[in-house]
């Protein structure tokens, strides 16, 4: 029970307003996460940043991971195209073209 109090305090000290709008006082997840043995501490270091603005920056981190993954795919496709173009240039004689 102690932890739950701690977590509520953290939420209250961080960013100001309590963001739970369920009206239940504690959300579904609180019963699970609130009972974990991880000791609740006031946010410091990276948490101070990531928990601000209703944890908006966590979403930013997720979007960036996805975006960097897509960039990786895009660059890989380019490399493959480079190779294929060279191969086609070598292997397919020009008069093969139907046009």
Partner 1 sequence: MPVVERIVRGGTAEVNRNLYRTVRNIVLVALTGVVLAGFLIQIPRIQILEHTARNLYFHVPMWFTLMAAVLVSAYHSFRYLQTGNLIRDVRAREAALVGLVFGLLGLFTGMVWARFTWYQGTNIWWNFDPKQSMAAVQLLIYGAYFVLRSAVEEPRQRGRIAAVYNLFAIVTVPFLLFILPRQMPSLHPGADGNPAFSEFTAPSMRWVLYPAFIAFIGLFWVIYTQRVRTSLIKLRLHGDVES
Provide the mask over 6-45, with x wherever binding to partner 1 is found by CB under 8 A and - wherever it is not: ----------------------------------------
Residue 15 makes CB contacts below 8 A (sequence gap 6+) with: 51, 52, 53, 54
Establish if 77 lies at the interface with partner 1 (CB under 8 A).
yes
Q: Could you give the dihedral angle defined by the CA atoms of residues 43, 48, 54 and 57, in that order, rounded to the nearest 10 degrees?
A: -140
- To the nearest whole angstrom, how small is the minimum distance from the Cβ of residue 81 to partner 1? 5
25 CB neighbour count, 10 Å cutoff: 9
Which span (4-12, 26-34, 38-46, 81-89) binds partner 1, by CB under 8 A?
81-89
């Amino acid at each position: 029970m102690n932890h739950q109090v701690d977590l509520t305090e953290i939420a209250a000290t961080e960013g100001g307003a309590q963001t739970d709008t369920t009206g239940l006082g504690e959300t579904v997840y609180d019963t699970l996460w609130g009972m974990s043995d991880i000791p609740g501490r006031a946010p410091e270091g990276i948490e101070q940043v990531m928990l601000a603005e209703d944890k908006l920056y966590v979403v930013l981190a997720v979007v960036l991971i996805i975006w960097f993954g897509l960039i990786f795919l895009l660059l890989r496709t380019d490399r493959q195209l480079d190779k294929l173009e060279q191969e086609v240039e070598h292997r397919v004689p020009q008069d093969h073209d139907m046009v």
